[in-house]
Amino acid sequence: MRNPKYIALSGVIITLALAVGVWRVAASRHPSGKEQPVVVEYIRYQIPPAQHEAFLTAYRQATTELDAAPQCLAYEIAQGVEEPDNFIVRIEWTSIQDHERGFRTGPHFPSFFAKVKPYFDAIQEMKHYNIAVQRRRAAGSK
């Protein structure tokens, strides 16, 4: 059975997207030059309070490898407001294949993984998603 909190949240997001008239599928330009849908990896962690800063430091250091990887388009790390032990790492990849066969078998993965491996057991979920609807606007714009 689905969690009612998540159903309500997705309803709000869909309602908001309908209200502002923003329905588009995000796409990226693959290194080959071909346009394709962006794949987003979400990694959900539950980190004890005493490890928050070390966790964030590890990911800050691991961004060096993400920045160097051509398969990585963007990333962010968010900490829960209501539940500050919850962290979400969101990484946009050129494709799932580029992530799994390119990045994970490439030169940047070993040092990336070494930095974040101490938190591997704290992962609650790690999955790939296609962006179905997206709207971004600059802060302060209408």
Domains and CATH numbers, the chain: 24-130 (3.30.70.100)
Scanning the structure block, which residue is given the tokens 């078998």? 105
Better-scored residue on pLDDT, 135 or 5: 135
Q: What pLDDT is recorded for position 35?
A: 57
- Count the alpha carbons within 13 Å of 96 in the hemisphere toward its beta carbon: 8
Number of CB atoms found within 10 A of residue 7's CB:
10
Looking at every residue in the chain, the average pLDDT score rounds to 82
- For the cut 90, the answer to whether the pLDDT of residue 136 exceeds it is no
Tokens of 60: 């800050």
Tokens of 77: 């790390």
pLDDT digits (tens, 9 = 90+) for 27-60: 444 455 555 678 999 999 999 999 999 999 999 9
Nearby residues of 16 by Cβ (< 8 Å), 6 or more positions away:
none
- For the cut 90, the answer to whether the pLDDT of residue 7 exceeds it is no
Helix/strand/coil for 83: coil
Dist. CA 116–CA 118, nearest whole Å: 6
* Helix extents (H) in the chain: 4-20, 52-68, 96-97, 109-116
Dist. CA 84–CA 49, nearest whole Å: 8
Tokens of 72: 């990585």
Dist. CA 123–CA 104, nearest whole Å: 18
Which of 34, 35, 38 has its CA nearest to residue 92?
38
